[in-house]
């Protein structure tokens, strides 16, 4: 599982100009079952996406397709982790502990 942290690299006006395209991109990956949760950080300096991807390269490829990235208004920091414990609703995503 991956925590995909978005970090804004441009003023909010530039970020907001790409927001509709970014949300459409999120919708595509939610529909595919890749994204489990997403939202803006507070204060609004970026966001966080919780994702299930085949491997780190796949997570990086997904992030590279974000309209925020292609427009140059954000970058990603991706952290892989083992979801050894989950809430019951996320049980299908549990992984054996390392």
Q: Is the pLDDT of residue 97 over 90?
A: no
Q: Provide the pLDDT for residue 45.
A: 97
Domain that holds residue 31: 1-48+57-74
The reply to whether 96 falls in a domain is: no
Q: Name every residue whose Cβ is closer than 8 Å to that of residue 97 and which is 6 or more positions away in sequence.
A: 82, 84
The reply to whether 90 falls in a domain is: no
Count of domains for the chain: 1
The tens digit of pLDDT for each residue in 6-36 reads 999 999 999 999 999 999 999 999 999 999 9
The reply to whether 27 falls in a domain is: yes
Q: What percent of the chain has pLDDT over 70?
A: 100
- What is the rounded average pLDDT for all residues in the chain? 96
Q: How far apart are alpha carbons 73 and 8 in whole angstroms?
A: 6
pTM comes to: 0.93
Q: Distance of alpha carbon 6 from its chain centroid, rounded?
A: 7
């Amino acid at each position: 599982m991956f925590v995909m942290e978005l970090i804004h690299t441009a003023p909010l006006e530039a970020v907001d100009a790409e927001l509709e395209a970014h949300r459409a991109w999120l919708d595509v990956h939610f529909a595919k079952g890749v994204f489990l949760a997403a939202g803006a950080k507070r204060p609004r300096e970026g966001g966080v996406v919780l994702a299930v991807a085949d491997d780190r390269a796949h997570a990086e490829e997904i992030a590279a397709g974000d309209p925020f990235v292609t427009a140059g208004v954000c970058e990603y920091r991706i952290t892989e982790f083992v979801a050894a414990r989950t809430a019951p609703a996320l049980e299908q995503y549990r992984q054996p502990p390392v």
